[in-house]
Amino acid sequence: MSELRAIYTLWLREVKRYTREKTRLISSFIQPLLWLIIFGSGMRLASTGLIGISYQEFIFPGIIGQTLLFTSMFMGISVIWDREFGFLKEILVAPISRISVFVGKVLGGSTDAVIQGSFVFLFSFLVSVHVGIDTFLVSLPIMVLITFGMVSIGLTLASLMESLESFGVIQTFVNLPLFFLSGALFPISFFPPWLGWVSVVDPLTYGVDALRITILKGAWTSANPLYYDLLAIVAFDLAMIAIGTLIFSRTK
């Protein structure tokens, strides 16, 4: 009971901090917009007719996935922040388990990332993808599942890093391959076979595919059934939370 209360407390803190930062909220609109409009329309001609749907429609779920990935990873920064400003000490000496601390932070980070991902749905009209409230509601749990594992990676990497700078470098190093190999921007079937294999182990591949299935519905023919994607994501989440808790428990 007291552990649940601690988890709730830490979750609430992350969410409060996030919603109070207006600049971050606003700037979070910009990046997906740039991808959808500039990158999407620029690539439209090059890819017409190859995938059966418009390129912007194709990348729309991919950009949601990208937003989730980037925001989730970025949440790792909260560990570094807390350490830098001394607040981590207050949490670590509290009579609660490290698992609760980690889980509280994961849930907080996931909430923030899902809020950010949800904003992207507002732009669906720009790319003439029809997204009803029902589609959004079905996508919501998928988004939540995607972020659990990603936030865990971010937190784990951050707790291993000494400084903000090194976290920034590592973050890019992890973000970009995960993003490019996930099939967010190009169909995986376009990859040469060796790269295709790498994308099989990229967790975001399943996230993006699951979002395509729910958002584009019949217009998208997936290689995997939805339940297969979801199982892969859940397995990834569990593994990352386990590894993260283990590593986080050892931070000083």
Partner 1 sequence: MIQVKGLTRRFGGILAVDKLNFAVQPGEVFGLLGPNGAGKTTTLSMLCTILKPTSGTATVNGIDVTRNPAQVRRMIGIVFQEPSIDDRLTGRENLEMHANLYGVPRTEQKKRIDEVLDLVELSDRADALMRTYSGGMRRRLEIARGLIHYPKVLFLDEPTIGLDPQTREHIWNYISALSKRESITVILTTHYMEEADKLCDRVAIIDYGRIIALDTPQRLKEGLEGDMISVKAQGANILAEKLVQLELVKNPKEADGELTLVVKSGAAMMPRIVEVAERLGLRIESMSIREPTLEDVFLHFTGREIRSEGGEEYHGLAAIKRRGVR
Asked if 23 interacts with partner 1 (CB under 8 A), we say no
Alpha carbons 206 and 119: distance in angstroms, whole number: 21
Q: Which stretch binds partner 1 (CB under 8 A): 15-23, 50-58, 125-133, 229-237?
A: 15-23
Question: Binding to partner 1 (CB under 8 A): which residues in 43-102?
Answer: 85-87, 89-96
Nearest alpha carbon to residue 75 among 34, 98, 96, 104: 104
Residue (92 or 219) nearer to partner 1, CB = 92
**Residue 227 C-beta: closest distance to partner 1, Å:** 38
* Both structure tokens of 143: 């988004």
**Residue 164 C-beta: closest distance to partner 1, Å:** 17
Asked if 164 interacts with partner 1 (CB under 8 A), we say no
Alpha carbons 63 and 34: distance in angstroms, whole number: 10
Task: Supply the DSSP string of 181-197, one letter for each residue.
Answer: HTTSSS-GGGS-HHHHH
Q: Which stretch binds partner 1 (CB under 8 A): 13-21, 30-38, 109-117, 240-248?
A: 13-21
**Residue 4 C-beta: closest distance to partner 1, Å:** 10
**Residue 131 C-beta: closest distance to partner 1, Å:** 33
Alpha carbons 56 and 129: distance in angstroms, whole number: 8
* Both structure tokens of 24: 């971050």
Residue (104 or 117) nearer to partner 1, CB = 104
Asked if 13 interacts with partner 1 (CB under 8 A), we say yes
Asked if 22 interacts with partner 1 (CB under 8 A), we say no
Asked if 2 interacts with partner 1 (CB under 8 A), we say yes
Q: Which amino acid is at 198?
A: V
Query: Is 56:45 a contact under the CB 8 Å cutoff?
Result: no
Task: Supply the DSSP string of 36-72, one letter for each residue.
Answer: IIIIHHHHHHHHTTTSSS-HHHHHHHHHHHHHHHHHH
For the beta carbon of residue 86, count every other beta carbon within 10 angstroms: 8
Residue (49 or 86) nearer to partner 1, CB = 86
How far, CA to CA in Å, does 243 sit from each of 101, 153, 156, 230?
A: 14, 9, 8, 20
**Residue 240 C-beta: closest distance to partner 1, Å:** 25
**Residue 124 C-beta: closest distance to partner 1, Å:** 32
**Residue 6 C-beta: closest distance to partner 1, Å:** 5
For partner 1 (CB under 8 A), the number of binding residues is: 22
Alpha carbons 74 and 84: distance in angstroms, whole number: 16
For the beta carbon of residue 197, count every other beta carbon within 10 angstroms: 11
Asked if 217 interacts with partner 1 (CB under 8 A), we say no
Asked if 19 interacts with partner 1 (CB under 8 A), we say no
Residue (134 or 252) nearer to partner 1, CB = 252
Residues that bind partner 1 (CB under 8 A): 2, 5-6, 8-9, 12-13, 16-17, 20-21, 85-87, 89-96
